[in-house]
C-alpha cells in the first residue's frame, strides 16, 4: 500500500551578493539578497527512491546536510531552476531546501550554520556563511545586511527601479579547484593586499547601504566598480576574461555598475541595471544574462524580523 507518511518537501532560493565579497569568513559585513530562482526537494524515507539531482555533487551535499541534521535524507528528488555554476549558489539553495524540508521548525540562523558546515564537509572548501544565510533568511523587496561576526542582521529595502542582472562569464570552475582556501589563509594572516581589500570592501558595504537608503544609483554603481577593482587588484580573484566582460557591462546603456560576484576565479558578474535595460546589457556582453528580483528565504516567515546589525 502507498503511504505518504514521512514524505517531506523543502524549497529554498538562490542568492546574489550585492556587495561584501571575501569578507564573510573574516567576520565582516555582507549584503546579499535571496532571489526568485528556487530549488525544490521532495524526500521519502524509502530506500527505493534514488537521489535524483542535477546539482553538481548533489549526493555529497545531501549526505553532508543529513549528517549535520542527524537525519538520513534517502530517496530525495531535486528540481532546480538554478543552473549549477550560474553564480546564484545552487549548492546553498539545495542545502537550505533540504534543511527546511527536514527541520522546518529550526531557527534560520542555526539552519544556515548547519548548511555552511555541510558545504564545508561536502567540498573541503572553507566557505563563509553568507550564501546559506541569504537563502535561509533573505526577504522579498530587501537585501540582507549581515554581520558575519555576530550573525546579527537587518533588512535593507531594495528599490523597485533596479533590476539585478547576473552575467555568466562562461568560465566555470568548481570551488574546490580554485585557490579559495589559500586566499582565505592569506587574508587571515594579514597579507597587506588581501587585508586592504577586506578593509575597503567592508567600508563599501556601509557606503552601499547608505546609497540604497538615499536611492543614489550612481553611487551604488561606482561602489560596484570600486569593489571590482579591489577584487581584481588586491584580492586577485578575477580573470582577464571577466575583467573584459565587466568593462563591457560598465559601458552598457542603463547599467549603473557591475563587478565579479561570489568566490570569483571566473564564475559570474553582478550588474545593477535600470529596469527594462536587459537587452542593452545582453547586447553589450554577448553572454547569457539572468535577470532576477529579490525573494523570501526558506526560513524567513518562521523567523520574522531580525536583530539590528
Q: Which stretch binds ligand GLA (CB under 6 A): 58-66, 124-132, 139-147, 295-303?
A: 124-132
**Which of the following is catalytic: 131, 147, 163, 168?**
131
Nearer to ligand GLA, 168 or 278 (CB): 168
Q: φ, ψ for residue 223 (rounded to 5)? A: -65, -35
CB of 158 within 8 A of CB of 93? no
CB of 284 within 8 A of CB of 167? no
Q: Residue 140's closest CA among 17, 273, 296, 299?
A: 296
How many residues line the site for ligand GLA (CB under 6 A)? 10
- Distance from C-alpha of 252 to C-alpha of 111, rounded to nearest angstrom: 39
Q: How far is the CB of 262 from ligand GLA (least distance, A)?
A: 4
- Any contact of residue 234 with ligand GLA (CB under 6 A)? no
Q: How far is the CB of 260 from ligand GLA (least distance, A)?
A: 10
Helix/strand/coil for 299: coil
Question: Is position 233 annotated as part of the catalytic site?
Answer: no
Which residue matches cell numbers 530525495? Answer: 76
* Interface with ligand GLA (CB under 6 A), residue from 131, 226, 234, 278: 131
Q: Which three cell numbers stand for residue 8?
A: 517531506
90-102 and 130-137 helices, crossing angle to 10°: 50
Q: φ, ψ for residue 180 (rounded to 5)? A: -55, -50
* Interface with ligand GLA (CB under 6 A), residue from 128, 257, 297, 306: 128
Q: Residues 11-30: x/- map of binding to ligand GLA (CB under 6 A)?
A: ----------xx-xx-----
Q: Which stretch binds ligand GLA (CB under 6 A): 75-83, 125-133, 209-217, 239-247?
A: 125-133
Q: How far is the CB of 126 from ligand GLA (least distance, A)?
A: 9
Which ranges constitute the DSSP H helices of the chain?
Answer: 58-69, 90-102, 108-123, 130-137, 180-188, 192-213, 217-233, 240-251, 278-285
Q: Residues 248-287: x/- map of binding to ligand GLA (CB under 6 A)?
A: --------------xx------------------------
Contacts to ligand GLA by CB under 6 A:
21-22, 24-25, 127-128, 130-131, 262-263
Residues forming the active site: 131
Amino acid at each position: 500500500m502507498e503511504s505518504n507518511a514521512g514524505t517531506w518537501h523543502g524549497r529554498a532560493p538562490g542568492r546574489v551578493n550585492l556587495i561584501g565579497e571575501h569578507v564573510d569568513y573574516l567576520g565582516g559585513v555582507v549584503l546579499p539578497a535571496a532571489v526568485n530562482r528556487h530549488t525544490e526537494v521532495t524526500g521519502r524515507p524509502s530506500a527505493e527512491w534514488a537521489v535524483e539531482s542535477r546539482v553538481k555533487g548533489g549526493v555529497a551535499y545531501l549526505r553532508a546536510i543529513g549528517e549535520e541534521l542527524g537525519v538520513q535524507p534517502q530517496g530525495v528528488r531535486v528540481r532546480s531552476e538554478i543552473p549549477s555554476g550560474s553564480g546564484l549558489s545552487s549548492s546553498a539553495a539545495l542545502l537550505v531546501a533540504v534543511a527546511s524540508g527536514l527541520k522546518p521548525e529550526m531557527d534560520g540562523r542555526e539552519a544556515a550554520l548547519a548548511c555552511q558546515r555541510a558545504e564545508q564537509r561536502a567540498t573541503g572548501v572553507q566557505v563563509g556563511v553568507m550564501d546559506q544565510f541569504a537563502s535561509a533568511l533573505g526577504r522579498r523587496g530587501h537585501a540582507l545586511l549581515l554581520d558575519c561576526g555576530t550573525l546579527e542582521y537587518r533588512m535593507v529595502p531594495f528599490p523597485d527601479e533596479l533590476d539585478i542582472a547576473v552575467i555568466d562569464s562562461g568560465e566555470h570552475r568548481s570551488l574546490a579547484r580554485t585557490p579559495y582556501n589559500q586566499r582565505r589563509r592569506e587574508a587571515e594572516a594579514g597579507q597587506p593586499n588581501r587585508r586592504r581589500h577586506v578593509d575597503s570592501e567592508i567600508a563599501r558595504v556601509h557606503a552601499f547601504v547608505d546609497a540604497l537608503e538615499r536611492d543614489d544609483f550612481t553611487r551604488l554603481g561606482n561602489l560596484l566598480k570600486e569593489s571590482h577593482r579591489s577584487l581584481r587588484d588586491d584580492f586577485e580573484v578575477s580573470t582577464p576574461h571577466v575583467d573584459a566582460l565587466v568593462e563591457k557591462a560598465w559601458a552598457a546603456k542603463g547599467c549603473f555598475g557591475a563587478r565579479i560576484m561570489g568566490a570569483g576565479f571566473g564564475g559570474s558578474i553582478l550588474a545593477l541595471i535600470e529596469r527594462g535595460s536587459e537587452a542593452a546589457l545582453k547586447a553589450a556582453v554577448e553572454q547569457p544574462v539572468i535577470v532576477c528580483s529579490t525573494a523570501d528565504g526558506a526560513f524567513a516567515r518562521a523567523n520574522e524580523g531580525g536583530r539590528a546589525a
